[in-house]
């Protein structure tokens, strides 16, 4: 089980897990001042007309980029539908788009997540799987961590017979800077339960993910 990410809520309350590194959430003014410092660092004048409002906009954008710290994935998955006429085959939601930021450079990585599970005690609303992806995507982490966190959360909340998560993404830190390899993609997988135990189930999952769409 991946440890819970240290977090602070978007609303301003500092969560208990954040206590170790933060006693007070920075104010809006402090966040804007930090953006002004970075503009100076980049080599521009934060006082010029075009940049004057930028620190406010950046702080606002950060609330959106990192709103996952203020969301509880347990709450999203707390509603299970049990009346499914005994449906027990794989449920697969594929091609869930996401935008995230790598924890190393705070630069976007963008891609798609695919989630499959074999229900045991019931199913969840399909949109909730996409919401789970967003909770973790809108935090700072690696793609591997995000993949494992999604699988862990679904396993914990639904206790399914198996969970499979596949994420494919392009990392801007590899394309727009650094090694500058545009178009390379990274695939990460996590298999739990019968997906982990039976390679044929992994093949079935992958075949369904990559089969022609609608």
Ligand X SMILES: Nc1nc2c(ncn2[C@@H]2O[C@H](COP(=O)(O)OP(=O)(O)OP(=O)(O)O)[C@@H](O)[C@H]2O)c(=O)[nH]1
189 interacts with ligand X by CB under 6 A: no
Near ligand X in 149-178, by CB under 6 A: 171, 173-174, 178
Of 14, 58, 173, 208, the one binding Zn ion (CB under 5 A) is 173
162: alpha, beta or left? (left if phi > 0; alpha if psi -120 to 50)? beta
> Is 71 designated active site?
no
Q: Could you say which of 171, 190, 201, 202 is catalytic?
A: 171
Cross-strand partners of 92: 116
> Which of the listed partners (ligand X, Zn ion, none) does 179 bind, with a CB threshold of 5 to 8 Å by partner kind?
ligand X
Residue 149 appears among annotated catalytic residues: no
Tokens of 158: 């639904």
- Active-site residue, 74 included: no
- Backbone φ and ψ of 2, nearest 5°: -75, 135
Near Zn ion in 75-104, by CB under 5 A: 102, 104
Active site residue 114: no
Q: Given the residues 105, 159, 168, 170, select the one marked as catalytic.
A: 105
Q: Is 106 left (phi over 0), alpha (psi -120 to 50) or beta?
A: left
To ligand X, the closest distance from the beta carbon of 145 in angstroms equals: 8
Question: Quick one: the chain helix, strand, coil %, rounded to 5?
Answer: 40, 20, 35
173 is an annotated ligand-binding site residue: yes
Is 105 labelled as part of a ligand binding site? yes
Clarify whether 105 is annotated catalytic: yes
Q: What is the largest CA-CA distance in the chain?
A: 64
Closest separation in Å from C-beta 80 to ligand X:
31
Contact 109, 172 (CB under 8 A): yes
Closest-CB residue for Zn ion?
A: 173
Q: Does 35 bind Zn ion (CB under 5 A)?
A: no
- Asked if residues 133 and 98 have their Cβ atoms less than 8 Å apart, the reply is yes
Backbone angles phi and psi of 167, in degrees to 5? -125, 135
Binding site for ligand X (CB under 6 A): 102, 104, 142-144, 171, 173-174, 178-179
């Amino acid at each position: 089980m991946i440890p819970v990410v240290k977090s602070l809520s978007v609303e301003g309350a500092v969560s208990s897990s954040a206590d170790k590194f933060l006693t007070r959430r920075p104010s809006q003014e402090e966040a804007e001042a930090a953006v002004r410092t970075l503009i100076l660092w980049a080599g521009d004048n934060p006082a010029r007309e075009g940049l004057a409002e930028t620190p406010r906009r950046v702080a606002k954008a950060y609330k959106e980029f990192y709103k996952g710290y203020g969301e509880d994935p347990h709450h999203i998955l707390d509603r299970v539908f049990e009346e499914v006429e005994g449906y027990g085959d794989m449920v697969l939601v594929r091609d869930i788009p996401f935008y995230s930021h790598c924890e190393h450079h705070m630069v976007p990585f963008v891609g798609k997540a695919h989630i499959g599970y074999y229900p045991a005690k019931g199913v969840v609303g399909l949109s909730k799987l996409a919401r789970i992806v967003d909770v973790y995507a809108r935090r700072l982490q690696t793609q591997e961590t995000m993949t494992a966190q999604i699988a862990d959360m679904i396993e914990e909340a639904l206790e399914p017979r198996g969970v499979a998560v596949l994420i494919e993404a392009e990392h801007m830190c590899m394309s727009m800077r650094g090694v500058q390899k545009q178009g390379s993609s990274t695939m990460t997988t996590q298999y739990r339960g019968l997906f982990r135990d039976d390679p044929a189930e992994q093949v079935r999952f992958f075949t369904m993910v990559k089969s022609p769409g609608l």
